[in-house]
Structure 1
Amino acid sequence: MGRTELQTRRMDAVRAWTTFVERGDEAASLVRPEILTSWNRSEAAIPVDVTEAPLADEAATAAYWSGSPLATAVDRVQAELRRTAEDGDLVVAVTDPMTRILWTYGGRVMRRKAESVNFVPGGRWDDESVGTNALDLANRLDAPAMVFSAEHYASIVHNWVCWAAPVHDPATGTKLGVIDISTTWDRTHPIGLATARVLARLIETAMPLTQQYAHLDLDEASEPGLTMRLLGTAETWLDGQRLLLNRRQTEILALLAMHPEGLSLEHLHALVYGDQAVTTSTLKAEVSHLRAALGGQLSSRPYRLLMPVTTDVDLVLSLLRGGRVAAAVDAYGGDLLPGTNSPALNELAEFVAVAVREALLADPQPDAVVRYSELAPYDTEVVEVCLARLGAAPNPAVPLLKGRLAAAQR
């Protein structure tokens, strides 16, 4: 975006903000609906000339951060976050679910600007504390958000542009907070929102494994060998350390994990590629990279893993075989490697999904059905069967199930 275009956009934002401050909802046609809604919340709570964000208790903020899985995840990817901030002269911030900042890092210029308005750990950046901003919007909407220049309610950040994206626990879907990147308005770039999304996903993939599996009484992070999460989110850990693999390598490793007896080159090629025109030398190259990542613990002739292997697929199927439907649904994070074009993995994905669904139809435990409906919101039959089984019996899950059913039928 050229400087002239940016200046015009900034003038439009200032004009809309001035109209709102002077004449209220006459600005409705000048800004996005979510900005106007936030401006109204802000106006009812704070003056437009607020000079800084209020600070939460320092000791309480530090205690929350030190005990948070977010702290572990941010520490693991801190080099990438710092490099992003320094390369773009940005300030990066991570918040809790109440939009209280827990961690920040800034480039030389933005660090000073951030400190001047309490964009620091402990700073409360919900819009009722400091006015409209991207952190609050991303948190409230549970979606990536951008706020440019005078779209901010408080004039202290009219010179800023901010992009933010929510961060979720990959296992439970719980919103843990948001990550925000901010800089001066004249450095606005179309890639800003995409960068915030990428950083959010980076933090999510670095979440400690023990946190993700705590509800299953399974502590894979301390177990020797290979641990793979394939349902909903693809993650691989070796002896407690996360491996960074590309999509194809994850697929190959998943197939080897499902075939502990080993696979010939030709058989593995058929399972991975089906009838695609891909040479065996391409597969050999991927296997070579995998062998290096696994410290050599992958044999050839046949290809076979030389270590203990744990997968969430095996866990779900084992729980179903034992009749533990609710626990199986807890462990089921969603479809197996969505988007894979491996015929073998597509077949396995369908098998697992149908197995979970049929188990719930046979034993529709309300809490398990609520959890499942979050993963498969349009599978109304399971919800209907559960409600029919409950009848008129009072159960706290009933309103949630009826709400899910109504939403799916719109």
Structure 2
Amino acid sequence: MADEDLQARRVDVMCAWTTFIEHGDVAAAVRPEILLSWGRARKARVSTEVEAAPMADESETDAVWRGSPLQAAVEAVGSELRRTAEDGDLVVAVTDPNSRILWTYGGRVMRNKAESVAFLPGGRWDDESVGTNALDLANRLDAPSMVFSAEHYARGLGNWVCWAAPVHDPVSGRRLGVLDLSTTWDRTHPIGLATARVMARLIETAIPYSHEHPSVRAEGTGEPGLVMTLLGTAETWLDGARLLLNRRQTEILALLALHPEGLSLEQLHAMVYGDQAVTFSTLKAEVSHLRRALGGQLASRPYRLLMPTATDVQQVLALIRGGHVVAAVEAYGGDLLPGTNSPALSELADYVAVALREALLADPQPDAVLRYSQELAPYDREVVESCLSRLDGAPHPTIPLLKGRLAVADR
């Protein structure tokens, strides 16, 4: 975003904030979730001059962290989280479901800024304690949230921009907390929210074995193994380190991750190439490259991965099976490997997209439908109409936005 556009945006938000604080209304367009949060903060009599978040009991916070599945997951992928913070000079935070911070790591500049406002383990960042912020919104809405500059209720946070995304147990769908990325407002970047979503998903795939989460990591395994994001954006991590693979290698690895029982050379060839005139030797060469990249953890006869694996495809399907529609929409980052010419992956892409749509038609949760219509399927009238019909005139903050999506679809 150009500097002048960013500055103009900040001025507009500051004007809206000032009008609300002085008169209780707004003179400019403010996102509904921000306005509702401002209202909650005012009702709770939060001071706009609050300088730092109140702190929860230290020993209690430590106990919650030690008893949370988030601790093991964050430790498993900590190198990736710290690298993100250092490369972008961000502060990264993980909270519990009540927006109490359990863990943080900051880049050189942001670390000091974070300490000055109690953006630390134990800091209570619900909006009734410190006013509007992205951690609270992501927890409250169970959806990725951004708060920019003076959208923060507290005046002292007007120099911040924060992006947060909820973290769920991938099988039960239970919300465990949020992952937040924060920096100064002038460093706002369009991919900030997407980065928070990817980091939250990375934590989800590293959550240790439990009765709720048996599919992501084998019992007793100390490493997160292979983690693949295939929906919308293709990314692959091995033990917390990102792998750089070409498109065909990603397709082959995805098929192996989705078939843990293993595939013969003939099966894998058919799934990758279909009826294309590609030799078995070409496939073997690609597999050999993958075996080197995986440190030898790829067996032959049949081809089979020798480490725990997790993909966002499996996560979304598990959430749909469990009836967790909101979490499924959040985890669905987009079409599976758009443009793939693998017949097996093309078929799976259609299956996942249709399953998600049918889940929304069966249970049209307003927040999930809004995100689906805004980011995934802007011209799908039927899903939006089913949601509005289910609401049947009952008041809900998403209604104006859903009707706006219908107007866009009509065009």
Pairing 1:378–2:378 present: no
Deviation at 1:223, TM superposition (A): 7.5
Deviation at 1:280, TM superposition (A): 4.3
Match of 2:218 in 1: 220
Tell me the amino acid that sits aligned with residue 251 of structure 1: A
- Inter-partner Cα distance in structure 2 for 1:63 and 1:98: 15
Match of 1:289 in 2: 289
Tell me the amino acid that sits aligned with residue 79 of structure 1: S
Change (3 A) 1:48 1:254: closer
Match of 2:265 in 1: 263
Deviation at 1:17, TM superposition (A): 0.9
Match of 1:317 in 2: none
* Contact 2:227/2:310 (8 A) holds in 1: yes
- Inter-partner Cα distance in structure 1 for 2:161 and 2:310: 42
* Contact 2:57/2:122 (8 A) holds in 1: yes
Deviation at 1:112, TM superposition (A): 1.2
Change (3 A) 1:408 1:19: closer
- Inter-partner Cα distance in structure 2 for 1:373 and 1:165: 20
* Contact 1:210/1:219 (8 A) holds in 2: no
- Inter-partner Cα distance in structure 2 for 1:47 and 1:135: 18
SS in 2 for 1:221: coil
Deviation at 1:140, TM superposition (A): 1.4
Match of 2:398 in 1: none
Tell me the amino acid that sits aligned with residue 295 of structure 1: G
Match of 2:336 in 1: 339
SS in 2 for 1:85: helix
Greater shift in the superposed pair: 95-104 or 342-351: 342-351
| Unmatched segments (≥5 aa) in structure 1 | 313-328, 353-371, 381-405
Deviation at 1:258, TM superposition (A): 4.2
* Contact 1:93/1:104 (8 A) holds in 2: yes
* Contact 2:269/2:283 (8 A) holds in 1: yes
Deviation at 1:277, TM superposition (A): 6.1
Match of 1:358 in 2: none
Describe the superposition over 1:313-336 as per-residue Cα deviations: whole angstroms up to 9, x where unpaired: xxxxxxxxxxxxxxxx6699989x
Q: TM-score, normalised by structure 1?
A: 0.69
Match of 1:251 in 2: 254
Q: TM-score, normalised by structure 2?
A: 0.69
Change (3 A) 1:44 1:310: closer
Residues 2-21 of structure 1: pairs in structure 2 closer than 5 A? 2-21=2-21
- Inter-partner Cα distance in structure 2 for 1:82 and 1:48: 32
Deviation at 1:6, TM superposition (A): 2.3
Pairing 1:91–2:91 present: yes
- Inter-partner Cα distance in structure 1 for 2:347 and 2:3: 52
* Contact 2:38/2:153 (8 A) holds in 1: yes
* Contact 1:28/1:36 (8 A) holds in 2: no
Tell me the amino acid that sits aligned with residue 184 of structure 1: T
Give the count of matched residue pairs: 345
Match of 2:408 in 1: none
Match of 1:190 in 2: 190
- Inter-partner Cα distance in structure 2 for 1:307 and 1:154: 51
Match of 2:101 in 1: 101
Tell me the amino acid that sits aligned with residue 28 of structure 2: S
Deviation at 1:297, TM superposition (A): 5.2
Of structures 1 and 2, the larger Rg is shown by 1
Pairing 1:44–2:27 present: no
- Inter-partner Cα distance in structure 2 for 1:309 and 1:108: 34
- Inter-partner Cα distance in structure 1 for 2:220 and 2:323: 18
Change (3 A) 1:287 1:17: same
Deviation at 1:75, TM superposition (A): 1.0
Describe the superposition over 1:175-233 as per-residue Cα deviations: whole angstroms up to 9, x where unpaired: 1111111111122222212221121122122222336535x9x9833379x99999x99
* Contact 2:165/2:200 (8 A) holds in 1: yes
Pairing 1:112–2:109 present: no
Deviation at 1:306, TM superposition (A): 9.2
SS in 1 for 2:94: strand
Deviation at 1:111, TM superposition (A): 1.2
Q: Which protein is richer in helix relative to its size? A: 1
Deviation at 1:268, TM superposition (A): 2.6
Match of 2:318 in 1: none
SS in 2 for 1:200: helix
- Inter-partner Cα distance in structure 1 for 2:29 and 2:253: 47
Describe the superposition over 1:221-271 as per-residue Cα deviations: whole angstroms up to 9, x where unpaired: 3379x99999x9999999xx78977742333425764457x434xx43113
Tell me the amino acid that sits aligned with residue 251 of structure 2: R
- Inter-partner Cα distance in structure 1 for 2:308 and 2:193: 37
Percentage of identical aligned residues:
59
Match of 1:82 in 2: 82
Change (3 A) 1:258 1:78: closer
Match of 2:68 in 1: 68
SS in 2 for 1:222: coil
* Contact 1:373/1:379 (8 A) holds in 2: no
- Inter-partner Cα distance in structure 2 for 1:121 and 1:65: 9
Match of 2:29 in 1: 30
Tell me the amino acid that sits aligned with residue 98 of structure 1: N
Tell me the amino acid that sits aligned with residue 87 of structure 1: D
Tell me the amino acid that sits aligned with residue 178 of structure 1: V
Tell me the amino acid that sits aligned with residue 336 of structure 2: G
Deviation at 1:156, TM superposition (A): 1.3
